[in-house]
Amino acid sequence: MSDRRRRLLPRSKRIRASVAALVLLLAAAALGGYLYERHRTGSIYHPHARFVPEPAPTLPARGPARFAWPLYGYDKQHTRFFPAPPSVHAPFRTLWVHNSHSLLEFPPVIYGEDIFQLADDAVLSAISKRTGHIVWSRKLGRLSAATPAVSANTVYVTILSSGLSSVPGRVVALDSSTGAIRWSRSLSSPSESSPLLDHGAVFFGSQSGIVYALNASNGRVLWTYHATGSVKASPTLSSGTLYFGDYAGHVQAVSEQTGRLLWRSGSEGALLGSGTFYSTPAVVYGRVFLGNTDGRVYAYDAFTGRLDWAVQTGAYVYASPAVTNAPGLGPTVYLGSYNGTFYALNARSGQISWQFNAHGRISGSATIVGRTVYFSDLGQHLTYGLGISTGRILYEADTGAFDPVISDGRDIYLTGYTALYGLAPS
């Protein structure tokens, strides 16, 4: 063997040793990262956390006042539960179909005999809930992704893109009878936060993290709160406190009257950072329930922000939870994950009561009408109605993608991919 060959051997061994050491180091780092991530994003249970029992909601009184499904998620607590009478159940027959010729990402609202739906092309339409005919329609911008809010005479919408570079976002109040604009306010950033109405004020968030409280009559700013990330969900109201998550991975509670921060909690849900909250919170039983893109469903104490439990689904949770007291199960949280599974979770403990495999991504939120929970599957464009206590299929339709159903206590109104369907119990 030559002298040159003998000189190379030790060097090659050193190289192999260095490579082996590097591989081991990378493997150790990967394992450490996996274990760290698993620890940070796994399920967490605190079985003795505070839980406040509440009576089940009842149907609104039928009197001189006209029926209203006025907000995204039906009520200000965003429980997404409507206590419909037993007669409102599948099978259904089609009364009418209204095709918007645009993506319908969010459900409409109802006041009296009219349905108000904001399509993703920023066209707001008032539709007769009896015939499906358009009462009036108005183009308000280029892009939107929210549900309107409606009162006795005004409908409020947020706009994701006005179409003007000088006006990134917009909030508009319109006469609900004619579509005439009552007032409009330009925003410094786009908004896809469904407005919330309460005692003469309208509340919503924006992509710059600003949460607004405006005078509902004239659009005057009452206060603003600056979150550390985009606020894309609708604020949720309970007992004078507004709750919302942001894209910095925080959940916060602020005073409805002043916007003063009461508490803020993190998700600690992603490696070296936090997951993002797109989900609109449901606030009930003294807890704040919402999903996160880290794959978890979270429950926080509504009074302190302390984490009560977190359940890992294994994929994004964009969906907003629906919550009710289910016969045989008790207080239960319903929502789907991007892993294609729809979950019924015990609201007290976070444990899974039942689950349903939809075989496709679930992006939108569920709504409970009576004893049926409805959700749509973005992957296959199907809508399911499941028994809230059993998870058994009670209804299935080959349309839908996001948030499917609202009701007036007599019929249901199903939001498909581009069309709205009026459906009556057969």
**Strand 81-82 and strand 367-369: pairing?**
parallel
Distance CA 231, CA 199 (A): 22
Contact 417, 378 (CB under 8 A): no
Look at residue 6 in the predicted model and tell me its pLDDT. Answer: 45
Look at residue 54 in the predicted model and tell me its pLDDT. Answer: 86
Look at residue 38 in the predicted model and tell me its pLDDT. Answer: 45
* Averaged pLDDT, 68-79: 96
What average pLDDT does the structure give for the chain? 89
Give the model confidence (pLDDT) of 353-410 as tens digits.
999 999 989 999 999 999 999 999 998 899 999 999 999 999 999 998 899 999 999 9
Q: Could you tell me the pLDDT band of residue 65, with boundaries at 50, 70 and 90?
A: low
**b/e burial code for range 179-191 (CB count within 10 A of at least 16 → b):** beebbbbebeebb
Q: Which residue has the higher pLDDT, 102 or 29?
A: 102
* Averaged pLDDT, 302-313: 96
Q: What is the residue-wise DSSP string for 403-415?
A: --EEE-SS-EEEE
Give the model confidence (pLDDT) of 314-340 as tens digits.
999 999 999 999 999 999 999 999 999
CATH architecture of residue range(s) 42-425: 7 Propeller (2.130)
Look at residue 18 in the predicted model and tell me its pLDDT. Answer: 62
Contact 229, 235 (CB under 8 A): no
- Coil/strand/helix, residue 235: coil
User: pTM to 2 decimals?
Assistant: 0.88
* Averaged pLDDT, 252-277: 82
The CA-atom distances, in angstroms, between 270 and each of 53, 249, 280, 292, 302 are: 32, 9, 20, 10, 23
